[in-house]
Chain A
């Protein structure tokens, strides 16, 4: 991911990110966004805000996870919703996939 600005949020600093338990979200497919060296950090943050309706801090958290760890699990949802999210992310030319959460 291409660095643009340095967000204040770092991975692991937001308690609210420690999301709902698995059972609350079942059944599930994971929506994963993969790192690439071409999309701007600001752009990725913006897309996460648009697609998921997240506040900026949460979007930045996941953007940094993608940037630093190579990928981020963005959400876990039904197959239908996961497909929808992947379609939206691809529409913005982000590298996103979904996989069954075993």
Chain B
């Protein structure tokens, strides 16, 4: 995937195979199912409940928006090998949040390991989460690189 900033928008060029991968990853959203809010020192209970409600509503809203985004593929420009479409800065920022949800959620599903996972320790169920975490990270880095420019 190549993302090029053109004025206030970003032109995205993505090969068909990579688009299929991106779609697979985006369809995993929402991946974070439990709150990460409870840390060594959380806020007041009311604050935590409010946060849970807020995040839950946010996930629903994002899921609907994501469906609309993926359904809009018909409006993308297509060449033999790639799709081309344009997104605003806000949309790219939103995609980054979605992808990181999948990355962090997949990591949580792997048991929140402290160290990098060894290939040998992966089994069929965990390999899927590992793949999702790595693939989401790949797209995140592409977006972060584009946003840096």
Contacts and interface: CB of A to CB of B under 8 A. Distances in A.
Given A38-B107, A87-B51, A91-B58, A97 B97 contact: no
Interface string B73-109: 0000000000000000000010011001101110100
A39 B112 CA distance: 12
B43 interface: yes
A97 B42 contact: yes
Interface stretch (B4-12, B15-23, B119-127, B140-148): B140-148
Contacts of A46: 96, 144, 147
Chain B interface helix/strand/loop/mixed: helix
A20 B54 CA distance: 31
Interface residues of B, number: 37
Chain A's interface size range is 20 to 34
Interface string A1-37: 0101000000000000000000000000100101011
Interface of A: 2, 4, 29, 32, 34, 36-40, 42-43, 46, 50, 79, 82-83, 86-87, 90-93, 95-99
